[in-house]
A and B are shown apart, each in its own frame.
Chain A
Amino acid sequence: DVKVTQSSRYLVKRTGEKVFLECVQDMDHENMFWYRQDPGLGLRLIYFSYDVKMKEKGDIPEGYSVSREKKERFSLILESASTNQTSMYLCASTTLSTGVHEQYFGPGTRLTVT
């Protein structure tokens, strides 16, 4: 089974702090994604990566950056956390080999910025 893990389930940070969210997948997937999930808005794509050191902006990249130095690890960085970044953050990965590209998700990190 594919396993996607996220470094923290719950995180509380202060406004202005730099925040790192880590995601690791163990199935050699090429593509990895970061979403945020908010009530009534579903999942919104922040950034994705299709290869090591490669990244593309999603629908809401403002205030975020990402890093992918190794294939299995994809990090989301909040440069200066703000209260409107309080949310559930979900990481996902997928392989191109099946042709269907269904995504596999981690358990999520619930971030609160005070």
Chain B
Amino acid sequence: GNSVTQMEGPVTLSEEAFLTINCTYTATGYPSLFWYVQYPGEGLQLLLKATKADDKGSNKGFEATYRKETTSFHLEKGSVQVSDSAVYFCALRAGSSASKIIFGSGTRLSIRP
């Protein structure tokens, strides 16, 4: 079946450090891939997306590239800020599954000033 595996947290970094949060997936066909972010006390917000192989999604300095050969969609940011502290969810939508999205378990990121 379809699934998403992302690195466990919590991840703690200093401000301006480089961030990578790993995400791999299992899916049939050609899924759409997403990263969502959840700031404290809020619902999830779409951070970025990619819909086909080699697409790069980007937003707010974050990037992720859809790698079909390694079934991965790792999230990266070159220089993190305290305001990036949140929980990050990798997710996929496979085929015509009535818009159902499968989420990873989430990675909590904390940035120290």
A60 contacts the other chain (CB 8 A): no
Which one of A50, A56, A103, A107 lies within 8 Å of B101 (CB-CB)?
Answer: A103
Complex: A108 Cα to B97 Cα, angstroms: 24
Contacts of A90 in B (CB 8 A): 43-44
Chain A residue with the shortest CB-CB distance to B105: A42
Contact A43 B103 (CB under 8 A): yes
A34 contacts the other chain (CB 8 A): no
Contacts of A106 in B (CB 8 A): 43
Interface centre among A41, A90, A92, A105 (most CB of B within 10 A): A105
Q: How many residues of B contact A (CB 8 A)?
A: 21
Contact B43 A94 (CB under 8 A): no
Interface centre among B42, B46, B98 (most CB of A within 10 A): B98
Complex: A70 Cα to B104 Cα, angstroms: 31
Contact A41 B105 (CB under 8 A): yes
Q: Which residues of A contact B (CB under 8 A)?
A: 4, 31, 33, 40-43, 45, 48, 50, 56, 58, 90, 92, 94, 96, 100-108
Q: Which residues of B contact A (CB under 8 A)?
A: 32, 34, 36, 41-46, 49, 51, 89, 93, 98-101, 103-106
